[in-house]
Structure 1
Amino acid sequence: MARLLNYGEGFIRAAAADIWLSVDRTGDEDILRKLNADGHPAVASAMLDGAVRGWGTLPQSRKSRLIDIIGAQAAEPAAAAAMMPNLIRFDRVEYSGPGRAWDLFAGVMPIALDALPAGAEFTEARLFNVVMESRSKIAPELLVRICDSWLHWLEKVTEEGLVPDDFTLGFADLLLDATRGKPEMREGRLARALSLRGSTAPYAIIGDIVDHWDVLTDAERNLVVNMLGAARPDAIWLKASVLTSPDVPKDLEQLLLPIGPALDGPALVLVTGLADDLLAACVQAYTGQPPRLWNRAHRGAEVWQPVVDLIVRQPRHPLFGIVWEAISGGGEGDLVRQIILDCGRSDAELFLDLLLRHKLSRVGDFMPKAWAAVLDQAPDRETRTEWLCRALIYSTAILDDLTDFDLWLLNKDDQRIALHFLEPDIESVMAANEISDGHEPHSGMNRLLEQFKKEPPRLHGTYGQIQRIVRQEIGDDHPLHEALEAWRLRSLKLAEALKTHLLGDRKPAEPEGWIAP
């Protein structure tokens, strides 16, 4: 073993370390010292893996020694980053086995989190889950130690300007749960958490803290109240995070809402009674618009979904665009159809434009019943045709190929108009079939080329369809394939230009007043 640990290649030493620590041994202090002195991250990770595999067979003295050695390795940033992908798998039986080495986890995880570089890559959701699973397996003080190190890592993350994942911000929820009835164990930690740099962390954490309002001390409650009243650029978003929590404490509701509106009252009173900026922030927080707010969206649905349902039926409301994006983005065609019908004929053209914008911003998601509801509200056939043609101008961006056609339009007359508009595609496919039949391939080729000179297909998928049809007859090296590919790329470029023309530059904006990160 000593010879193997002298090899220059880290992967050889790592394999040796894994095997050695997976079995109970005695009289190997020299080997353990060598492993303890090895600075290669792969060796550190292999030591953890080996110990986990043999943990159930080891006496307590050996376990304590290995916790010390592996913990010392985890104190190095590179080793911590190498270990983390497996430290967050201790809740998985396929990694840690039926015995689950939770004492090893409790000894190593806080050290690794303390040393972990801010930009280390791992699955954040698994960190939250493994610590949550450990609550019933390790002592509360050990869990608090993990949360301490977790918070220290978050301080590094935010100080470096990185945006923490919502799962990594969930430590406050775990800390409050672990210290229920023992607030002295978490003293000062919530203040540190709410002091994390930027808006992302306080926005998420204050919402989690409010969910545990009944276990907070007076000092902790005052901390929250003072933060909500602070003159911060993002103060309105912190208030929205609290007001969209699943169960808002009455004293915070009274603090944040004016006299009159109540969270358990009618949606109309909230819409008309809240200050414009607070209503907007709460609606945006609930719907997750802009995307920065998405991870905390749809909390407090009992209160805020009726508000959204009310506003989306008021197209002149300042927040209509936000709630329309949220509801149409769900792709529930029946719901969108009902909203269109509820708003009535006077807003039909508005919804025509909105449906067109919605379709151009997505793949699939045709919502044919919603389109039918709009077109059915045209006062006459001439107007209906004009409305349909407005959409058909963008058919290159709406449809991939002719097979998408039935997914979009339900009315037979509408389909006939659309088919006439897509005649270049239909004629080109028919010419390709004539080539493929083999009876008159030259005639079919001439017909195809004439159609391309007259008007090429509008849909990029038509070019691929033609290639598939004619391939057996003309072979893969025929120059027609190269020409078809050039036309296909041109069609795709046109589709993107049409999207840009209608939608503009849709880069998501940050919430107003949001502090980076």
Structure 2
Amino acid sequence: MDIAIIGPEKFAFQDMACIELALSFRPFGPFALVPEPTGGEDASLTWDDGALLTLEVQVKGAKGSAGVAELLDYLVHYPSREVTGSLLQRLMEQDDRHALFILTARCTDDLTPLLLARPLIGRPASRIAPRALAEALRNEVSAKAATKPPKNASKLTLERLANLEDLARRPVADFERALAKIALREQETAETIEVHLHTAMRAERFDTLSIRGILARFGDLLAESKRTRSDALGPILTALAAHAPSALGPHGYLERGIEAALEARLRTDRSLLITGPPRAGKSWTARAMAGQLQRDGFEVRQGSFVEEAERFLTDPMGAERVYVLDDPIGSREPHTDANARLAALGALTERIPANRRLIVAQTEQVLLQTKAAPDLIACGLGGRAWLRLEPLPVERAEAIWRSAAETQLVPAVGVSRVAELISREPGLRDPGALAYLAQTWSELSHRPLDAEIVLQARKDASDFARTLAMQTPGLSDLLTASALATTASDGAAASDLAFIISGGNDRPALAPKVDVVTIGHSRPPPSYPSEPLLSEQQRHGLEVLQRRRVIEDRDGRYNFTHPYLRAGAQALVTPDIPADLQRIRTQLERAIACPSPVTSLAAARNLRWTRSALQCHATSTVFDIAHQGTRSLFPATRDCCFEFLVEFADLLPEELRDDFPCLSERMVIELEDIDVAHGFGFVSNRYDWPIAASPIEEVQPYLDAIEDGSPLGLDLSLSRRILQTLDAHPTALTGTAVRRFLRADEAVVRATVARIWARIPRYNDEDVLARLEGDATPTMTTALLNELAHSWESLPKERRERVLATVVAHARSPSCASVLLSRLVLFNRVERFGEQPPWQVFTTLMPVVIANLPISVSFADDRFCVAIDDAIRAVPSNELVPVLDAWGDRLLQRLDRYLLSESELAIVDPLLAVAPESGRVPILQRLLRVRDTGARIVTTRWLAHNWDELGTAERALLEEVIGDHRVDQRWLSATILTLHRPPTTLVAVLTGDLDSLERSTEEIERKLGASLFAACVHMFVGWPQPLWWYGTHHSRSPIWTRVIRDLARDPNHPLHPLAFYEIANFGGEDELAKLVDELPDAALLGTFERLLDFKVSHVGDWRQKAWQRLLARADQTKLLDDFVMRIDEELDGILERLSDVGRWLGERDLLVRVARLLPNDLRALRRARNLRTTFVMLSDQLAKTEGADMTMAEQVFATLCAEELKALKAAPPRIFGTWDEIGRIFESVGATAEVRAALEGKRRTAVKRHHAIRQRFRGSPAPVAIEGWINQARQYD
């Protein structure tokens, strides 16, 4: 696992001072650095290489100014519990003693002679101190010694004052001697020193982004030295050497003879485009050119991603940089987005700053295939041509061959053989071919033919990889794990490879599917439960790969030596048999779930080529793993996996597409969600209490460094700290700073700085806005929306419109549209967008959002409709017409795939409020002419409900629609007829009579006909589904309420069961009891079954009066025994606890009759409660008895519980609530764990029995088919 990938948010001032001293004094001989030495100051540096020399260091973080009085306070620091030997006295008396004070305060003019300038020019040395300063210091000592001590002063205080009196009597020369050995550094903080260290370490070619991690490691070493009081310099220098930058130039590179020309072109064009066939030496040449620039002081990075190169090279930091881009559009075949990558590369070459260089090495055949071009002339990027590497001159090719052959131990006869062939065979004059031939010489026969040698040199690297995998056990796993876990720029640690190969089911860097947020505790960082180790076989395999120059160790991380070898390993990812697929899937899962942020991100970036490798086998596998990767605890990995899914959104499995809106929402995080306290940043579900942002003056050194273009590694923790401060001081965010932060890998960093930038008016930032517009991620989109809404009033009109245009551009991305919708539907919420939200934002964004939402997103709740209603009241009507147009279009799109909800279809009311009739009619025509009955009845209902507000064309349209002879016509008619007040015009159209609904139930049925009458009843009660779903039920129509009551009293009517359940569900207690009274005796059995069905399926809805009346009538008609027997069969599903019997039946006689069905429950509860009572009485008595011991009593009751358990098993209770109560009683009296576990098993069995019974009941009439109903979505099932 990576240690200190990033630094902490804030380094300790003392630690930073010690680290700077350690690095600054390195050139001046060996010394020991001990932080917080016993009896000393904050740190001491000691040289002991002939002449002893000690530098004592104090670090003072107080602000303000420091003069002679403050200097004296520093100097009179005594060793613990000592009355002599202050630092001042030591400086006077010991010639080899010097002091350095590193101060945050500004020194007054009289201390100026003591200031120490950067850089250091040698070991501490005495200087001439002004006599006036010495006299001033002695006067301060005298004044301090004369200070009257407090009344309760300790003996130690008094003796130290006496020591000061002695010092004050010393001659001025002693003070001059002490001051001559004192040096001051002023206005320093942990932050200013860190900035200096970045500059110093970058000058030594350390990668900028690695510096804070290295400083954090130094801090760990200092902490250990403080604990042991030992030297810290040795460990620091060891760590420094371990993290020293590796030379990018290839080892043993022999020049081709064209390097000078390449250097000249690179200097002129700032970019170098190298191409050629495989193994022509493109990557080696590119690395050699970059290696030379590295030696000249350039910061170097290597990779395969154009966007990463763009961020690195256009970062406004002033350092000189060069990026080596290896096969950015593919090494063996073009990437799926090769043309887009090539276009981005071309754009990058046009805007490389003067102090930056780009070197590209791209395989020729892939380039030609991508451009569909006959030659390289047609492949130029802008005005830049590709340089094709031609075969080497014979003598250079021979030299490269002999070097490679020596490394791979090729026999002398083979060396001579190939050397002789080189002169005759141009195919053996490519460096890569010669190196590959040396690597694979052992695969040739003992005496190969010339043609075999040439063929071997040009053989595909995948063949080599497969041969290696077959020759050495375990090598296949190592090669595929390395391919999945590394990129051209980042290798993988041995522990990561071990985890990827055989890490089991742990996924340490993935958040659980269901996470719980807590406050006040820090989540532990992702880590391995125990450090994974390679097996002996795997270690041997890794050694074989290193010896064969396939893999190399770069700073403790293993990576491929050449792109074509990486490509060969990638070929092994394509499975040969089903078992291979499962192995690759598991390796990729583990790679993304690896607790190394570097390895995890590398695996996420490899998803694209992995998908290509598995395309014919299991593409969905890669999408599933990317979906898992969006739960990564590392922000950059999450972002990368999400970008991959967005890129292939059209190809995702349906289930994953449907989850896309929720997934987009999960991607929205804020800086406060990131924990940076453990050496790397990760998403935490446990948030500590809010910590105040750093004061602006603390982070100002960082801002100054950014503005000056000084080296500064903006890792996640430092970015978070700076941005939290800038959030409170947005004017301090400069154009230079925003441009740097916008190049962060993490979307959350980019979104935070964008939010701050958008808060106040800015100018001359079109490039910034263009970058924001292209950064369409959910986190960025929500940040810009929220900031724009809250800053609307303070921004000038032009600025508002430009930022809004950026969010509109984002809204065209389905993932961003999803997160925008979830916020725009809350636009009317005061707690979200204030008392007067800027509705222009809503009306501008919503049409674009609706048009670009994933098809799976619905407006299933009322928030969308409520937001539309409030918008209608807030803005001119014409501004909402585009929103409603988009809404109508979306309804038609979704009808083919989904059952739409009432809220989603509720467009008629807003249309009537906003649009003119001419604008409404086209939308209404489309909605009413769809096949889907649900959409038609909802639209019909709203139009009929608003009949008085409709125009002539709309009324004519509705009359025409309800007059159509479609198969679902009855349902449109029923929708209108069951309204609370149906329009009489429509009633007449449907029934031929204005007063047809004012008659008796029998007459209404005759008038409507059985089919339409039944449809009306079903529509009114909302049964069966989807009638309830569409919200057209229970219109409070007095006509149909009366009809339901009449049907419920008529047991012979086919609709009686439906009417009975309607009253059972929604009628009052007295109404249901009255109905039971009114039904004839012949209907009692059916009524009992329906009421029992209702009771079992409705928990807690007892309907006591109805049951009492029903059982009383059953007693009168000699049916009670049968009813009780029937109740007995289902009693375990009706009751949850014994006391429910009283709530259900009430009367004592009925209660006792049913309670007798539960003798075991009654007996068990009585015995358990008696046991508890006895236990309480005994405990109270023993508590009053002095010296009483409960141990024996507890043992007795534990035994009694065990005996009682036997009785329970012999006569088990039926109700699960009985087992619940007994379990609680047994626990309170001290039952053993074994007894409690047995009780719990019995309780669970009773619970399962309870639910099994309930599942057999519906609580509604027998299912019926809805005749004539058309569900449009099912037409495509």
Aligned ranges for residues 182-331 of structure 1 at < 5 Å?
A: 182-257=916-991, 259=993, 262-294=996-1028, 295-299=1031-1035, 301-330=1037-1066
Give the 3 Å change call, closer, same or farther, for CA 141–264 of structure 1 in structure 2: farther
Alignment partner, residue 421 of structure 1: 1157
Match of 2:882 in 1: 145
**Which runs of 5 or more structure 1 residues have no equivalent in the other structure?**
none
**Distance in 2 (alpha carbons) for counterparts of 1:187 and 1:121:** 24
Q: Distance in 2 between matches of 1:505 and 1:211?
A: 29
* 2:1268 maps to which of 486, 489, 513: 513
Selected match of 2:1215 from 441, 446, 459? 459
- Contact 1:394 1:498 (8 Å CA) reproduced: yes
1:41 aligns with 2:778: yes
Question: Does structure 2 conserve the Cα–Cα contact (< 8 Å) formed by 1:435 and 1:445?
Answer: no
Return the match for 1:449 from 1185, 1206, 1210: 1206
Partner AA of 1:488 in structure 2: R
Aligned to 2:835: 98
Bigger Cα displacement from structure 2, 1-10 vs 57-66 = 57-66
Distance in 1 separating the partners of 2:924 and 2:859? 25
Q: Which has the larger radius of gyration?
A: 2
Tell me how far apart the structure 2 counterparts of residues 345 and 67 of structure 1 sit (CA, whole Å).
73
Are 1:118 and 2:118 counterparts? no
Contact kept? 2:785, 2:807, Cα under 8 Å: yes
Aligned amino acid, residue 450 of structure 1? A
Which residue identity is paired with 1:312?
A: A
Matched to 2:989, the amino acid is L
Distance in 1 between residues matched to 2:1261 and 2:780, nearest whole Å? 47
After superposition, the C-alpha distances for 1:218-257 in whole angstroms (9 at most, x for unaligned) are 4333322332233433221111112122332222111212
Cα drift, residue 331 of structure 1: 6.7
Moved more, 348-357 or 358-367: 348-357
Give the Cα–Cα distance (whole angstroms) in 2 for the partners of residues 293 and 503 of structure 1.
17
Flag the 1:444–1:82 CA change in 2: closer, same or farther, 3 A. closer
Shift, 1:346, TM fit: 3.9
Question: Greater CA deviation, 437-446 or 182-191?
Answer: 437-446
Per mean C-alpha deviation after superposition, the further-off stretch among 277-286 and 262-271 is 262-271
- What is the Cα deviation at residue 282 of structure 1? 0.7
Instruction: After superposition, give the CA deviation of every residue in 1:138-164 in whole Å (9 maximum; x if it has no partner).
Output: 2222222110011112122112x1111
Contact 2:1111 2:1120 in 1 (8 A): yes
Cα separation, 1, equivalents of 2:1259 and 2:1018 = 22
Q: Could you give the per-residue CA deviations for residues 474-506 of structure 1, whole angstroms, max 9, x where no partner exists? A: 44512x223222322322333344345565999
Letter in 1 for 2:1108: A
**d(CA) in 2 for partners of 1:165 and 1:347?**
38
CA 13–414 in structure 1, closer or farther in 2 if over 3 Å, else same: same
Q: Which moved more, 1:271-280 or 1:130-139?
A: 271-280
Match of 1:494 in 2: 1249
Distance 1:164 1:26, change over 3 A: same
Question: Residues of 1 paired with 2:764 and 2:1010: CA distance?
Answer: 73
Aligned equivalents of 1:47, 1:94: Cα separation in 2: 18
1:107 equivalent to 2:864? Answer no
Compared CA separation, residues 23 and 137, structure 1 to 2 (3 A):
same
CA distance in 2, matches of 1:260, 1:39: 59
The range that moved more, 325-334 or 355-364, is 325-334
1:207 Cα offset (Å): 0.8
1:380-399 pair list within 5 angstroms: 380=1116, 383-399=1119-1135
Instruction: Give me the whole-angstrom Cα distance separating, in 1, the residues matched to 2:1115 and 2:1166.
Output: 37
Check if 1:166 corresponds to 2:921. Answer: no
Aligned AA (2:1215): L
Tell me how far apart the structure 2 counterparts of residues 122 and 193 of structure 1 sit (CA, whole Å): 17
The DSSP-based 3-state class of the residue aligned with 2:874 is: coil
Q: Tell whether the 8 Å contact from 1:113 to 1:150 is kept in structure 2 after alignment.
A: yes
Matching residue of 2:1137:
401
* 1-structure distance, mates of 2:1228, 2:1036: 59
Deviates more, 1:71-80 or 1:61-70: 61-70
Of residues 336, 339, 362, the one that matches 2:1072 is: 336
TM-score by length of 1: 0.92
Q: Compared with structure 1, are the counterparts of its residues 175 and 305 closer, same or farther at alpha carbon in structure 2 (3 Å cutoff)?
A: same
1:509 and 1:3 map into 2 onto residues whose CA distance is 66
- Give the AA of the match of 1:165: S
Give the TM-score taking structure 2 as reference length.
0.39
What count of residue pairs does the alignment treat as equivalent?
512
Distance across 2 between alignment mates of 1:510 and 1:62: 59
Note the alpha carbon deviations across 1:178-222, whole angstroms, 9 max, x for none.
Answer: 23xx31232411111223452221111111112222343443333
CA gap of 1:509–1:174, structure 2 versus 1, over 3 A, is farther
* Alpha carbons of structure 1 residues 379 and 432: separation in structure 2 relative to 1, 3 Å: closer
Partner of 1:25: 762
Q: Distance in 2 between matches of 1:476 and 1:513?
A: 64
- Tell me the alpha carbon deviations over residues 285-331 of structure 1, each in whole angstroms, 9 at most, x when there is no partner: 11110131112211252321111121111121111111222221237
- Per-residue deviation at 1:119? 1.0
Which residue identity does 2:887 align to in structure 1? W
Q: Is the 8 A contact 2:1095 2:1259 kept in 1?
A: no
More displaced, 380-389 or 273-282?
380-389
Greater helix proportion: 1
Q: Which moved more, 1:469-478 or 1:333-342?
A: 469-478
Q: Give the 3 Å change call, closer, same or farther, for CA 310–483 of structure 1 in structure 2.
A: same
Q: 1:310 to 1:194 in 2, by over 3 A?
A: same
Q: CA deviation at 1:445?
A: 4.8
User: Within 2, Cα distance between the matches of 1:381 and 1:427?
Assistant: 33
Match of 2:1084 among 328, 348, 373: 348
Question: How far is 1:414 from its partner?
Answer: 1.1
Q: Is the 8 A contact 2:1104 2:1146 kept in 1?
A: yes
2-structure distance, mates of 1:308, 1:291: 18
Give the C-alpha shift of residue 49 in structure 1. 0.9
Counterparts of 1:58-69 in structure 2, within 5 Å, are 58-69=795-806
1:376 aligns with 2:1112: yes
Identify if the C-alpha distance between structure 1 residues 476 and 306 changes in structure 2 by more than 3 Å, giving closer, same or farther.
Answer: farther
| 1:398, distance to aligned residue in structure 2 (A) | 0.6
Whether the 8 Å CA contact 1:53–1:96 is kept in 2: the answer is: yes
The one of 1233, 1239, 1257 equivalent to 1:484 is 1239
Worse-matched range after superposition: 90-99 or 276-285: 90-99
CA positional deviation for 1:422:
1.0
| CA shift for structure 1 position 382 | 5.8
1:365 equivalent in structure 2? 1101
Task: Tell me by how many angstroms 1:392 deviates.
Answer: 2.8
Structure 1 residues 494, 123: closer, same or farther in 2, change over 3 A?
closer
- Greater relative CO, 1 or 2 (CA 8 Å, sep 6+): 1
